[in-house]
Amino acid sequence: MGNEISPYVGKIITLIEEARQNALQSVNAELIKLYWNVGEYLSNANGKTSWGDSFIDETARYIKENCPEIKGFTRRGLYRMKQFYETYKDDEFVSPLVTQISWTNHLLILSSSKTQEERQFYIRLCIKEKYSKRELERQIASAYFTRCMLSKEVLEPIPIEKTIKDRFLDTYVLEFLDLPEKYNERDLQKAIIHNLKNFILEIGRDFTFVGEEYRVQIGNTDFYLDLLFYHRGLSCLVAFELKIDSFKPEYIGKMNFYLEALDREYKKPNENPSIGVILCASKDDAVVEIAMSRNISPTLVSQYSLELIDKKLLENKLREYGELLSNGTKQIENE
């Protein structure tokens, strides 16, 4: 009877887990609403009372002395609630979304983001990917926002649909691989497989792992893809080719061959054409642009770093691209 009843018991467990998750989400939503309302009250009352700037300090002292059982409403906590409200009160995009992520993640975003655009980006990402505190910390530390903005600038010349380009980065940070100073492509592949959870966190949770050294048979010959994934959002197979050197134009031809083979032999009728990602240790954007200019296959060239990248370097690079774009626009307007 044990085997017969297990599917039914499994359904009950699923219902319990769903209810538990819904309860946690409801509690979080109410907590965020409370902090928002307290922040709003403090913001409005701060300038209206005789206490002036010390109003929050006095409020925290009163709560501690008269309601010691209430936790979290310290001087620091109250200032954070006020900052939370004042940061987002006029943001039409964020205001409806604030209850969908945890207070801990809100605090991380507030303390780490410099602009409204960056805050919106991480809130949207947290909602989509359901990040834990640790996962969000990692994405912020790896300058995920700046890398995404850079990818939009760098990948723009490549003739691929915008909906596809938006799902990939120009630079991936793989600091978690812990590779030795000297390594080969096989070492890189094995390290990624060993750290697959972190790798998918970096490339995006819409990716589902299909296999390593994935065999593609053409005629009487076997070929092997380094890594094969399926992208749920794009409904297609995604092949990753790993290179430990700088990008070379001849890599394009090999990837095109793999993509054609996947589409002919492995793609299902309801799926979109396969996508290729050539992941190199480095790349020259000018070489990539020329190599890709006549390529019609959905192939992208990205680079990886085995260390966290200095945020200032990325921000300077993004600013340089922005200035080049702005100067190019002005030049066109003057002609």
- Residue owning tokens 């020329």: 290
Per-residue pLDDT band for 329 (boundaries 50, 70, 90) equals very low
Per-residue pLDDT band for 126 (boundaries 50, 70, 90) equals very high
Among 11-20, 60-69, 95-104, 272-281, the range scoring the smallest mean pLDDT is: 11-20
Instruction: Say which residue, 67 or 48, is predicted with more confidence.
Output: 67
- Residue among 301, 259, 297, 6 at smallest CA distance from 169: 301
Instruction: Say which residue, 104 or 327, is predicted with more confidence.
Output: 104
Average pLDDT over residues 138-155: 85
pLDDT for residue 330 = 46
Instruction: Say which residue, 166 or 256, is predicted with more confidence.
Output: 256
Q: Six-digit token pair at 128?
A: 């989509």
Among 82-96, 151-165, 202-216, 246-260, the range scoring the smallest mean pLDDT is: 151-165
Topology classification of domain 144-323: Trna Endonuclease; Chain: A, domain 1 (3.40.1350)
pLDDT tens-digit series, residues 81-122: 999 999 999 998 888 899 999 999 999 999 999 999 999 999
Task: Check if the beta carbon of residue 39 is closer than 8 Å to that of residue 84.
Answer: yes
Q: Is 92 helix (H, G, I), strand (E, B) or coil?
A: coil
- Residue among 306, 18, 311, 22 at smallest CA distance from 144: 311
- In this predicted structure, the answer to whether residue 278 has a pLDDT above a threshold of 90 is yes
Q: Which DSSP string corresponds to 7-70?
A: HHHHHHHHHHHHHHHHHHHHHHHHHHHHHHHHHHHHHHHHTTSTTGGGHHHHHHHHHHHH-TT-
CB atoms within 10 A of CB 67: 10
For the chain, the structural domain boundaries read: 2-141, 144-323
